[in-house]
């Protein structure tokens, strides 16, 4: 059980769950001109986890603030990004410094099926490292039984993984 607090902006809530080994920042909403990074407490822990499942769009004011916050957190512990939304991945690919010294552990990716369904799939980097290194989308099956088609440009969408440190 951690110590919980939250910081609210107009279109954004940052929930902080602090425990002795790791601090979790869950970021929900839009990174826009209402986001003031100075109001977000910096907590130094061995592991700093950012949860970006519900991050929406970034605008140019928001991204400037974001880069400052991430830069500060990068100095305070081992920074990792979890369940990054499609918007977050688009932003990271456009502005790689959005990651600071952090690594992406898992992220969402867009897929569609010939049956008309769209799916957003969670990809855990460790589980699909081989495919991802070749800039190939991991394969998933639709509820109708067909293989899903990846709904973005693989070379662009997986760009942020190119700098991935090689295991072994
Ligand atoms: Zn289908």
Domains of the chain plus CATH, in order, are 3-104 (3.30.750.24), 111-119+128-162 (no CATH)
pLDDT in tens, the chain (168 residues): 578 999 999 999 999 999 999 999 999 999 999 999 999 999 999 999 999 999 999 999 999 999 999 999 999 999 999 999 999 999 999 999 999 999 999 999 999 999 999 999 999 999 999 899 889 999 999 999 999 999 999 999 999 988 666 553
d(CA 22, CA 12): 22
What's the gap in Å between 118 CA and the centre of ligand 1? 8
Is the pTM higher than 0.85? The answer reads yes
What's the gap in Å between 151 CA and the centre of ligand 1? 14
d(CA 147, CA 91): 28
What's the gap in Å between 92 CA and the centre of ligand 1? 29
d(CA 127, CA 98): 24
Q: Which residues surround ligand 1, an ion (CB under 5 A)?
A: 113, 115, 117, 142, 144, 146
């Amino acid at each position: 059980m951690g110590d919980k607090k939250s910081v609210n902006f107009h279109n954004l809530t940052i929930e902080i769950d602090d425990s002795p080994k790791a601090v979790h920042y869950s970021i929900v909403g839009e990174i826009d001109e209402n986001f003031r990074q100075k109001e977000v407490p910096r907590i130094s822990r061995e592991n700093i986890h950012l949860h970006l499942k519900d991050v929406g769009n970034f605008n140019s004011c928001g991204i400037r603030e974001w880069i400052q916050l991430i830069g500060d957190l990068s100095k305070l512990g081992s920074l990792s990004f979890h369940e990054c939304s499609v918007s977050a991945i688009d932003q990271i690919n456009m502005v790689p410094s959005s990651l600071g010294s952090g690594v992406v552990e898992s992220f969402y990716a867009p897929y569609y099926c010939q049956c008309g369904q769209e799916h957003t799939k969670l990809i855990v980097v460790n589980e699909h490292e081989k495919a991802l290194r070749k800039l190939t989308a991991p394969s998933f099956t639709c509820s109708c039984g067909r293989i899903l088609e990846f709904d973005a440009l693989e070379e662009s969408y997986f760009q942020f993984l190119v700098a991935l440190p090689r295991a072994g």
